[in-house]
Amino acid sequence: MNTLENTVFSGSQFRGKSKILEIIRGIEINKTFRAAIKLELFTLLEPKPLTLVEIKERLELHGRGLNDFLDLFVSLGILHRDANGIDARYSNTEETSLFLVKGRPYYVGWWFEDKMQVIEQSWGEMYHALKTGKPQRTDLKDTGDSLFNVNYDSNQTALVFISGMNLAHFGSFRSFVESFDFSSYTSMCDIGGGNGLLAIMAAEHHRHLKCFSFDLPVIEHFAKEKIEECGDSDRVSAISGDFFKDDFPKVDVITMGNILHDWSPEEKKILVKKAYDALPEDGALVILESVIDNDRKSNTPGLLMSLHMLLLTEEGCDFTESEFEKLVKEVGFRKIEILRLDSDSSAAVAYK
Ligand SMILES: C[S@@+](CC[C@H](N)C(=O)[O-])C[C@H]1O[C@@H](n2cnc3c(N)ncnc32)[C@H](O)[C@@H]1O
C-alpha cells in the first residue's frame, strides 16, 4: 500500500543532523571567510580588540548581518569575543594573529585570494581525475610540467606555496617538537624542509640539537632568510640539493614533513632507503603527514590530502599506518611508532 507516509519517508529511520548539509556549509564558511580576508578584518583587529560598532565604522559597513558575520567566526574559533552585548569586543586568536595579519612574516591572506581559484579549479575537476587518473590543475595539465617546477615558477608563486605550507603544518610541527624525545640525539635534518620551519622549531625547542633543512636550490634563500630572521644561524643551516640525486646528510634524526605523499610507491621507497642509509644504528626517520587510519574510516584530512595528490601529481598518494610499517620494514628499519600529534597529522617514526 503506497500511503503518503511511505512515499514521504520511504521507510527510512533517518533522523538528526544532515551530513550532506555539512558539506554545503563548508562552501558557505569558505566564502564568508574570504569576505573577511578581503575586508582585512583580522589586520584591523590586531592592534587592539574592537566592538561591533567600531568595526562597522572602521570598515565602512552597512551593519546588517555584522553581528552574525562576527559571531560566526567566534563559533568557529577564528575570533574571540570577551563578553555578550553591544560593548563586547572582538579580537584575534593566536592563529589568526599569526597567519592573517597583513605584513606579518607568516601572512597567508593571499592564499584565499589568488590561490583559492587554483584550488577551486583543480577540485572542480575531481570527476575527470577519477575518470582518467591524471593531474587536473590547469598549469600542470596544460604544460605536463611537475608540481614543484610550477610552484616555483616565480618568487611570488614560491612565496605563496611556502606560506601555505607553513599555515598547514605549523601546528603539527610545534606539537612534534614538543612531544618527540630528542634527548639521545644530537643532530637532525628535515628533508624537503621548505623555508626551514621545522628545523628552526626543533633547534629552538631542543637547545642541544644541530639542525639542517634540505631542499631544492631554488628556494634556499627562503630558508636562509627565515633562519637569519629567527636568529638561529649558529645551530640551523640550509642545505641545497635534490633529494633524488644527492646523498642525505649523516644525522641522528631525519624528518620528512609531507614529502612521501607527493611521490609514487617506488619513489617513496627510494627516499626511505636513502634515509636508512644516512642514519646511524638507532637513528630515527620521522614522517610527518596526515597518516590514514588503518580502517580508512576516520581520517578525513588524510583522505582529502590523498585526493589532493590525485589532482596534483602523476602517482602521489597518502598511506595508512600499516602501509608505512610495511614500507620502512622492507627497507630494513626494525620498529615503528606512531605519535598522535595535536593536529591533523601524525609522526610516524621508524627506528634503524
Ligand atoms: C609538500 S612540500 C612540504 C614542505 C615542508 N616539509 C612542510 O611540510 O611544510 C614538499 C617539499 O619538498 C621539496 N622538494 C620537492 N622535490 C624536491 C627534490 N627533488 N629535492 C629536494 N626537495 C624537494 C619542495 O621544495 C617542498 O619544500
pLDDT at 85: 93
Distance between first and last Cα of the chain = 68
- Cα–Cα distances in Å, from 186 out to 206, 284, 291, 300? 9, 12, 27, 36
User: pTM, whole model, 2 decimals?
Assistant: 0.92
pLDDT score at 110: 82
Q: Determine the distance separating the centroid of ligand 1 and the alpha carbon of 157, expressed in angstroms.
A: 14
pLDDT exceeds 70 at position 241 = yes
User: What confidence tier does 185 reach under pLDDT thresholds 50, 70, 90?
Assistant: very high
From 148, 305, 314, give the residue whose CB has the most ligand 1 atoms within 8 Å, as the site to mutate.
Answer: 148
CA–CA separation, 336 vs 321, rounded Å?
Answer: 9
Q: Pairing between strand 253-257 and 284-289?
A: parallel
pLDDT band at 138 (very low <50, low <70, confident <90, very high): confident
In Å, how far from its chain's centre is CA 49?
28
Q: Give the pLDDT confidence score for residue 343 in this predicted structure.
A: 83
Q: Which of 224, 350, 234 is nearest to 291 (CA)?
A: 350
Q: Dump strand ranges (E) for 79-156.
A: 79-81, 89-92
| CA 192 to ligand 1 centroid distance, Å | 4
- Measure 196 CA to ligand 1 centroid, in angstroms: 11
Element (H, E) at 337: strand 335-340
User: Which of 153, 157, 159, 165 maximizes ligand 1 atoms within 8 Å of its Cβ, making it the mutation to test the pocket?
Assistant: 165
C-alpha cell at position 244? 633524488
pLDDT, position 268: 98
pLDDT in tens, 244-265: 999 999 999 999 999 999 999 9
Strands 187-191 and 210-215, bridge-based pairing: parallel
Residue 6 scores a pLDDT above 70: no
- In tens, the pLDDT along 293-315 reads 999 999 999 999 999 999 999 99
The number of the ligand 1 atom at minimal distance from the alpha carbon of 151 is 25
Give the mutation target among 99, 195, 215, 261 for probing the ligand 1 site: most ligand atoms within 8 A of CB.
Answer: 215
Would you place residue 8 in the very low, low, confident or very high pLDDT band (cuts 50, 70, 90)? low
Helix axes 19-39, 66-75, angle to 10 degrees: 110
Instruction: Give the span between the Cα atoms of 85 and 161, in whole angstroms.
Output: 40
- Is the pLDDT assigned to residue 7 strictly greater than 70? no
* pLDDT, position 35: 96
* pLDDT given at position 260: 97
> CA of 153: how far to CAs of 44, 112, 115, 252, in Å?
32, 19, 14, 34
Q: Tell me the CA–centroid distance for residue 133 and ligand 1, in Å.
A: 23
Going by pLDDT thresholds of 50, 70 and 90, the confidence category of residue 232 is confident
* Beta-sheet strand order (sheet of 50-51): 50-51, 89-92, 79-81
Output the ligand 1 site: residues, CB below 6 A. Answer: 148, 165, 169, 192-194, 215-216, 219, 242-244, 257-259, 262
Q: Write the DSSP symbol of residue 293.
A: P
Confidence check: pLDDT of 3 > 70: no
CA of residue 91 to ligand 1 center, whole Å? 34
Q: What is the pLDDT of residue 4?
A: 54
| 43-85 tens-digit pLDDT | 999 999 999 999 999 999 999 999 999 999 999 999 999 999 9
Q: For residue range 23-36, list pLDDT tens digits in order.
A: 999 999 999 999 99
* Rounded CA separation 215/232 (Å): 18
Would you state the pLDDT for residue 277?
Answer: 97
Q: What is the pLDDT of residue 245?
A: 96
Residue 149: the pLDDT is 84
Q: How many angstroms is it from 114 CA to the middle of ligand 1?
A: 21
Taking residues 8-15, what's their average pLDDT?
77
Cell of 215: 631542499
Distance 194 CA to ligand 1 centre (A): 6
Residue nearest atom 20 of ligand 1, based on CA coordinates = 242
User: Considering the chain, what percentage of its residues have pLDDT values greater than 90?
Assistant: 82
- Whether 153 has a pLDDT exceeding 90, the answer reads no
